[in-house]
Amino acid sequence: MSTTSVVMMIVAMVVVWGGLVAAILYLRSRPEVVGGPHEDPDLVRDDEERFQQPHPYRDT
C-alpha cells in the first residue's frame, strides 16, 4: 500500500470508528436529561402500572 492510501485509511478509521466510540461515550456519560420537562403524575403512574405487566407498554 502506498503511503497516501495508508494515511487515508487511518484517517477514515479514526474519524468514522472514532466517531462511533465518541458517540457511545457521549451517550454513556449523559444517558438521560437531568430533570427534564414536567411529567404529569398520572402519566408516570400509568407507566409504572404498565411495567408490572408481562410486556412493557407505554403511553400513546
Partner 1 sequence: MAETSPGRVAPEQRETWTHNTGFILAAIGSAVGLGNIWRFPGVAYESGGGAFLIPYLVALLTAGIPILFLDYAIGHRYRGAAPLAYRRMRKGMEPLGWFQIMLSFVISVYYAAVIAWSLSYFVFAFDLRWGEDTAGFFVGEYLQVGDPEVSTTIVSAVAIPLVLVWLAVLVILALGVANGVQKVNMVFIPLLAVAFAGLVVRALTLDGAMDGLDAFFTPDWGALTDLSVWIAAYSQIFFSLSIAFGIMVTYASYQRRKANMTSSGLVVAFANSSFELLAGIGVFATLGFLAFQQNVAIDELEGLTGPILSFVTFPAVISQMPGGNIFGIVFFASLVMAGFTSLISILLGVAATVQEKFGLSRRAAAISVSAVCAVISIGLFSTTSGLLALDTVDQFANNVGIVLSAILMTVLVVWVVRKGELLRSHLNAVSTFPLGRWWLALLGIVSPVFLLVMLGQKLVSLIQDGYEGLPAWYIGVFGWGTIAFVSVMAVVLAALPWKGRDEPDFRPWPALEEEHRS
Q: Residues in contact with partner 1, total (CB under 8 A)?
A: 42
Cell digits for 48?
Answer: 409504572
Number of other residues whose CB lies within 10 A of the CB of residue 50: 13
Q: Alpha-carbon torsion 55, 56, 59, 60, what sign? A: negative
In the region spanning residues 7 to 26, those forming contacts with partner 1, defined by CB under 8 A, are 8-9, 11-13, 15-17, 19-20, 22-24, 26
Number of other residues whose CB lies within 10 A of the CB of residue 34: 5
Q: Is 54 in the site for partner 1 (CB under 8 A)?
A: yes
Residues that bind partner 1 (CB under 8 A): 1-2, 4-6, 8-9, 11-13, 15-17, 19-20, 22-24, 26-27, 30-33, 36-39, 43, 46-47, 49-50, 52-60
